[in-house]
Structure 1
């Protein structure tokens, strides 16, 4: 649940993994791994003035239920990554939305740390997975929308006009150019859309913008409305 009045414009996820071995006197032909998942959602407000630090609005913590899985693993086994990847696909049944896009990073970190500590006496391991989700409410967008509302009454562009926006290929744009909505570089890997006035923006940024205002953020070209 978001703090009251919070509008999320950007969301960034980072997973952190801690692996603790459990040494047993009896060596088993398989490794039992206990996965403990927790989520920490942090909320930040980006001030409209870029030279000021983001303001911390608070956080929400959530502990997910513990799962234990058995993985056949010998010291010479080279398939640990694949086995962990398959096992986590089963573990993520009820927390899929939060962790699915982090699975590769979690498996990679877990595999690397297990390989460092695994020995012939270890039969179990506890893996603590902490997912930090940073939500950002961009005051620059809010300020621009407020200014726009005084002129156009916050009339959004029509859905059909947004859907017809022209996507830009990587070789058609300068990756160093900035998206004037989020002020980040357009880059080569992100989806970019061009308005009829020829101004280009990140697809996600301009879509959110046009769902609130039918004006181009740069030249105030008017998009069709319903």
Structure 2
């Protein structure tokens, strides 16, 4: 099985690519924005729908079984990509792992960051965690990355769920025990978004438990990949 990972806002692909050996024979790939490159930030799509359509374009020809794992903003993009693939008549993922984000029809807790003044914006990004230290420590890198990072926060903050037919894949929601941006009780309603089976797990840690405490996440992915279709 393939596992397509969708990073959080500003998230590089390196944490997910390091999972490859630990998840074998599951093959890990990363969709979304990946590492920030100067000159590309300003063209980052500023809506979840645009990001999801771009990912669906990439996956339209995929014929092997696959699963999605999306963290934070990535969970919304993974969800909307699955909806877009279904609308095109494609098979979509066998499993959607939604980590670190409340169910899509619920408002996301936490302060809105996209329109904050630059010093306050970076202070909040630093406090939130999940951003590479080398980016936070270098003014030139921050300046290059800021437009794209703001666009991704804007995509998340402007997202509004449009009601539609639930997915039919299995959904597995994972929530951090200390994540006030995606509390477990607000992740549980992900079950409303599929006619397939649903499971929820809590993982010790804050909003970036997928990086800080990856083993429970990897164990869940391994178990789901080995399970019969549900």
- TM-score over 0.5 (shorter chain): no
User: Which of the two has greater helix per residue?
Assistant: 2
- TM-score in terms of structure 1 length: 0.23
Which has more radius of gyration? Answer: 1
Task: Please identify which structure carries the higher strand content.
Answer: 1
